[in-house]
Amino acid sequence: MKQESYELFKSANRDEILNVLEAELKTRNESPFWADKIVPFSRAILSVLIPLRDNNMLFNPEGTAVDDLTPELFLKWSDFVSLKTLAFTLQKSNEAQTLLRTKLESSTCQRYEKIDLKLLGDYLSRYTVNLENESLDFPISNYNLHQGVSNVIKSLL
């Protein structure tokens, strides 16, 4: 990973990060197929990770507190199963008005502020993720597609 990527994820807003990814896609001459997938996927993930970062409430897919938003953390959440779990965790947290399903300090969890899940929800529903029932699976082809998207993103960072 490039040092610039760490600085970008540590403090930039969603649009700044997306602009860098788009610019990298153009310089690499990636197939339009990937470009059409990477930006919306990244936008959906960042729509929830940036608010968590800005409120010092980042955690990894195992629920452990993380200090900084890094490219590696972004890539961990880009796993489609992890992203689905994150969506349900934040949905339940929004309802409870406290951050749930993490190992963060109780006092930190109680500072949780509702996060807008529209972008993430719209994205996941496009790939047949059932947003009503967490235990329902989605097609393996969608998982495989997102593994490819994650691999291209990793090469850009």
Question: Going residue by residue through the chain (157 aa), what tens digit of pLDDT does each one get?
Answer: 899 999 999 999 999 999 999 999 989 878 888 889 999 999 999 999 999 999 999 999 999 999 999 999 999 999 999 999 999 999 999 999 999 999 999 999 999 999 999 999 999 999 988 889 889 888 889 899 999 999 999 999 9
Number of domains in the chain: 1
Half-sphere exposure (Cβ direction) of 6: Cα atoms closer than 13 Å = 5
Three-state DSSP class for 50?
Answer: helix
Q: What is the pLDDT at residue 62?
A: 97
- Select from 47, 36, 18 the least CA-distant residue to 156: 18
- Select from 41, 25, 131, 32 the least CA-distant residue to 80: 41
Q: What is the pLDDT at residue 136?
A: 85
pTM higher than the cut 0.85:
yes
**How far is the C-alpha of 116 from the C-alpha of 48, rounded, in Å?**
7
Q: What is the pLDDT at residue 137?
A: 86
Alpha helices in 30-129 (DSSP H): 32-54, 71-77, 80-96, 106-110, 118-126
Cβ–Cβ under 8 Å, residues 94 and 117: yes
* Residue-range definition of the domain harbouring residue 59: 3-156
Q: What is the pLDDT at residue 131?
A: 86
